[in-house]
Amino acid sequence: MNNIILCGFMGAGKTAVGKELAKLLEYNFIDTDELIEKEQKITIKEIFKKYGEQYFRDLEHEASKKIADMEKTVVSTGGGLMTYQYNCDAIKKGGKVIFLDASFYIICERIGEDDTRPLFKDKFKAEKLYNERKEKYKSVADIIIDGDMTVEKTVSEILKLI
């Protein structure tokens, strides 16, 4: 089995599920946002503020290409990474894509008032973005999982399906 790539909207549980899944499979774990922050030595929020969204998207593409060359890795992708076809094409070469399909209501509960998510400041705009991205996630996914479940249940379902 190659890499397992988790996609979904911010707050869908990709990082929490990914870490647990990697531990059980004895795989490495990578969060694309954390990878970018580590390489850039700056937070995602600061990247958006200083350089804008397109610069960040370019960094995501570079991360996608690196990840495709990895092995035995569970990857938590940033919420927008898999909405760009060139990223999908790059990252899918390295494994199966699993969409964590969490409802917007659950996502709002999980995120709360977290101010580190620049695209979630305005809930109305965030919901519109959620609806736009959801179809893209579905179209790229090899497997779709109910993202409203607990981390443990989600991981259990993934293990059954892979």
Domain of residue 13 covers 3-161
Distance CA 114, CA 143 (A): 29
Dump pLDDT digits (tens) for 64-95. Answer: 999 888 999 999 998 889 888 999 998 888 89
For the chain, what's the residue count? 162
Distance CA 43, CA 37 (A): 5
CATH number at residue 108: 3.40.50.300
| Of 53 and 122, more confident | 53
The model's pTM: 0.90
Domain count, the chain: 1
For 3, residues 6+ apart whose C-beta sits below 8 A from its C-beta are 27, 67, 70, 71, 72, 73, 74, 75, 94, 95, 96
Dump pLDDT digits (tens) for 106-147. Answer: 998 888 766 666 666 777 888 999 999 999 999 999 999 999
